[in-house]
């Protein structure tokens, strides 16, 4: 469950980054072969950026367009400096849009009034996708599936909003207005919205959060009795509700893949599927509400059937939590991901809080546990603005230790093999500081789907490419400069260069056409090209 936003804190004007950092990001990519912390070659490192109620971006409603753009770029540069390789960006928080849509009005959290376009006009989604990809960062478009009006008393609701055009598709509950998940036309509408995004924008994934049927409000039942009577198909009401959510997940999967097979579909559920006291397959937890029994979201079915491409359970609890221990749920999801990538949602927003979240070791221990647990493929941090405060120095831990070495996002298990071109090395030169510099140039006719250039080092000839270490990753361009520090503790090194495409497929690490550079140390201790 997404946390209730805290009272707004005073924001740092402009989200400024140090000038030295901004300068570094614009120079050639620098890598080092020595003094690296252990790090996996493939690891998802994402950040949720929430727009609802202006939690993360933009910092306020109606922020001038230039300031909106500057804020987003500075966030991206900060995340890149921390080793992140993905953003999960909320573009449809309440049946509204952070992009021009024929189906839904402009979001009030962008311009201040729902339905009002930005002025001067621009397309925020196109801008955000382009700026993310420029930095080698994946863009996952985050949509809330069923929430339509955030606050029925105070929200701005445009005359063209679907809840005004088709009020029969909606139900009010707990002060909010929701699409009725059991109404077939409501399901079809949400599917059309998603198809439109995938058709028009080069997003890497469509991402849904945990709000399916809403979290229960004490003493109030979700008011879908009339819909149930019309469409129940002979099912008990709980099974009918689950079947409604199943059907839209399947519909969305088919719609996304029919438009662009490489676009992934991910779900970030509440961290507990079911408690064990309700189902022997459930986790040893005592959560007050669960996906299966209260939100009517059968995540395990979707994973098993291949209806979603990844799962990102929100494990916003600490080690030893009395009702939902982090370690118990981490192990449970590792055993129940059904072969799909599993990224753990971490509660970064809690850093510096009371109790366990005031412990400086809490996040490092969680990251160590993630890396040492099978079938867990990375993490996503909630939420984006927390990084502006560097709570408990955890930004420094990420930058200098856990993310000091870059990582690639693993290709989907179902992705077909790629036929990527081989990069070309040029302008190779050694400096007296034992640095080798070179350019990676694209051959003629290279695909416009190339996204990244990766450089590896092999220092143990006996291990060969199996022991290759990822040194540096840069966004793709026709010519990419690299500077690599040679190792102090080895006598020879072999550098390998690969391309990575939009589906995270990589050219062969040691193929016949893979660019290779051999360096060895002379008896005088200086490095030489071989």
**Beta pairing class for 44-49 and 378-381:** parallel
The H or E element containing residue 110 is helix 108-111
Which residues are CB-neighbours of 525 under 8 A, at least 6 positions away?
none
pTM for this model (two decimals) = 0.93
Residue pair 284/320 in contact (Cβ under 8 Å)? The answer is: no
Locate tokens 């909003």: which residue?
A: 161
Tell the residue number behind the tokens 């079947």, with chain if given: 243
- Please provide the size of the chain in residues: 530
Q: Using an 8 Å Cβ cutoff, are 144 and 211 in contact? A: yes
**Distance of alpha carbon 287 from alpha carbon 314, whole angstroms:** 13
Residue by residue, pLDDT tens for the chain (530 residues) are: 454 433 333 333 333 333 333 333 334 677 766 545 568 999 999 999 999 999 999 999 999 999 999 999 999 999 999 999 999 999 999 999 999 999 999 999 999 999 999 999 999 999 999 999 999 999 999 999 999 999 999 999 999 999 999 999 999 999 999 999 999 999 999 999 999 999 999 999 999 999 999 999 999 999 999 999 999 999 999 999 999 999 999 999 999 999 999 999 999 999 999 999 999 999 999 999 999 999 999 999 999 999 999 999 999 999 999 999 999 999 999 999 999 999 999 999 999 999 999 999 999 999 999 999 999 999 999 999 999 999 999 999 999 999 999 999 999 877 777 788 889 999 999 886 788 999 999 988 777 789 999 999 988 877 778 889 999 999 999 999 999 988 777 778 899 999 999 999 999 888 778 888 888 887 777 788 87
């Amino acid at each position: 469950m997404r946390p209730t936003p805290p009272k707004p804190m005073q924001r740092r004007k402009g989200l400024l980054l140090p000038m030295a950092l901004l300068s570094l990001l614009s120079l050639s990519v620098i890598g080092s072969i020595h003094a690296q912390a252990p790090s996996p070659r493939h690891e998802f490192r994402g950040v949720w950026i929430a727009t609802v109620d202006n939690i993360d971006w933009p910092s306020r409603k109606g922020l001038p367009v230039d300031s909106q753009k500057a804020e987003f770029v500075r966030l991206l540069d900060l995340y890149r400096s921390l080793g992140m390789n993905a953003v999960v960006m909320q573009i449809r928080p309440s049946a509204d849009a952070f992009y021009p849509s024929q189906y839904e009005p402009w979001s009030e959290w962008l311009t201040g009034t729902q339905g009002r376009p930005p002025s001067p006009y621009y397309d925020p989604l196109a801008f955000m996708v382009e700026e993310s990809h420029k930095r080698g960062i994946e863009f996952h478009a985050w949509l809330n599936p069923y929430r339509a009006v955030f606050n029925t008393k105070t929200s701005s609701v445009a005359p063209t909003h679907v809840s005004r055009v088709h009020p029969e598709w909606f139900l009010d509950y707990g002060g909010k207005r929701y699409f009725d998940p059991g109404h077939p036309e409501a399901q079809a509408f949400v599917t059309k919205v998603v198809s439109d995004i995938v058709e028009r924008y080069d997003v890497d994934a469509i991402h849904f959060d945990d709000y399916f049927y809403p979290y229960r409000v004490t003493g109030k039942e979700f008011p879908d009795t009339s819909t149930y009577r019309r469409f129940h198909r002979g099912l008990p009401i709980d099974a009918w509700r689950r079947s409604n959510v199943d059907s839209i997940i399947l519909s969305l999967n088919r719609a996304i893949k029919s438009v662009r097979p490489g676009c992934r579909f991910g779900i970030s559920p509440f961290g507990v599927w079911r408690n064990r006291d309700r189902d022997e397959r459930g986790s040893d937890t005592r959560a007050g509400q669960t996906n299966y029994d209260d939100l009517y979201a059968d995540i395990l079915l979707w994973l098993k059937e291949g209806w979603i491409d990844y799962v990102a359970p929100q494990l916003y609890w600490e080690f030893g939590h009395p009702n939902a221990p982090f370690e118990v749920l981490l192990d449970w999801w590792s055993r129940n991901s059904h072969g799909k990538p599993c990224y753990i949602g971490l509660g970064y927003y809690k850093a510096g809080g009371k109790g366990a979240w005031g412990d400086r070791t809490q996040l490092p221990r969680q990251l160590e546990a993630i890396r040492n647990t099978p079938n867990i493929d990375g993490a996503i941090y909630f939420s984006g603005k927390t990084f502006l405060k560097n709570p408990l120095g955890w930004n420094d831990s990420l930058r200098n230790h856990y993310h000091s070495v870059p990582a690639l996002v693993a290709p989907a298990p179902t992705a077909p093999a790629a036929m990527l071109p081989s990069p070309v090395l040029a302008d190779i030169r050694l400096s007296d500081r034992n640095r080798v510099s070179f350019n990676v140039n694209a051959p003629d006719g290279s695909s416009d789907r190339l996204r990244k250039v990766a450089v590896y080092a092999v220092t143990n000839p006996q291990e060969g490419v199996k022991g290759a270490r990822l040194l540096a990753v840069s966004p793709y361009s026709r010519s990419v400069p690299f500077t690599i520090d040679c190792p102090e503790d080895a006598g020879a090194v072999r550098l390998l260069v690969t391309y990575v495409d939009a589906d995270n497929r990589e050219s062969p690490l040691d193929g016949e056409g893979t660019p290779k550079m051999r360096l060895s140390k002379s008896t005088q201790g200086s490095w030489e090209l071989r």
